[in-house]
Amino acid sequence: MDGHIEKILWTEEQISDRVSEVASQIFHDLKGLSSPVVMVGVATGAFMFLADIVRKTKLPVYVDFIRAESYGFGTESNGAPRISSDVKVDVKGKHVILVEDIVDTGNTLSCLISHLESKGACSVSVCTFLDKPSRRKVHFDLVGEGKFYWGFECPDYFVVGYGMDFAELYRNLPYVGVLKPELYK
């Protein structure tokens, strides 16, 4: 698998350091809350980041997943996503942190935020491992006192690893890299 990577953007060590910083920001912001926090990972890509962030954020949290389909097997989002698997925890009256692998066009996030708001979450924050602001097409508003946390700003490459796939492969790479273009073009 390593031979399929053209270049590494963030190593395992850089990721670990940055995730610790984000986790302490979240801890600092949420430690005083009286109501519980629900960390909702967006499956499948966020699974590794979610596992790291919940271990490093030393708060009592509910952990859950939600699944939205929009990508198929290409490298471009195809517009409005569909929620194909909903949260199990009742988010009504709770603070939700949506944990994403990467925010690209913003399509997925705006749909998920509205969905959680309609289920009665008292705030919806977003914690994304990567943010690609140069590709944003859809604006999204956080809910209540919700905040936006991000690990790294990602240049406009299609990246894989640390949970992120191409055609369901490469998710288990412990670093983030750019795939050799001949593998997907």
Number of H helices, E strands in the chain: 3, 9
| Residue 104 annotated as catalytic | yes
Q: CA–CA separation, 110 vs 143, rounded Å?
A: 11
Q: CA–CA separation, 58 vs 43, rounded Å?
A: 22
Residue whose CB is less far from ligand 5GP, 60 or 73? 73
SS3 4: helix
Residue whose CB is less far from Mg ion, 71 or 184? 71
Could you tell me the smallest distance in angstroms from the CB atom of residue 59 to Mg ion? 23
Interface with ligand 5GP, residue 52, by CB under 6 A: no
Rounded to the nearest angstrom, the gap between the alpha carbon of residue 37 and the centroid of all alpha carbons in its chain is 16
Return the residue of 64, 101, 104, 131 that touches Mg ion, per CB under 5 A: 101
Sequence letter at residue 151: G
Interface with ligand 5GP, residue 99, by CB under 6 A: no
131 binds, among ligand 5GP, Mg ion, none (CB under 5 to 8 A by kind): none
Could you tell me the smallest distance in angstroms from the CB atom of residue 8 to ligand 5GP? 14
For residue 60, count other CB atoms closer than 10 A to its CB. Answer: 7
Interface with Mg ion, residue 42, by CB under 5 A: yes
Positions marked active-site: 104
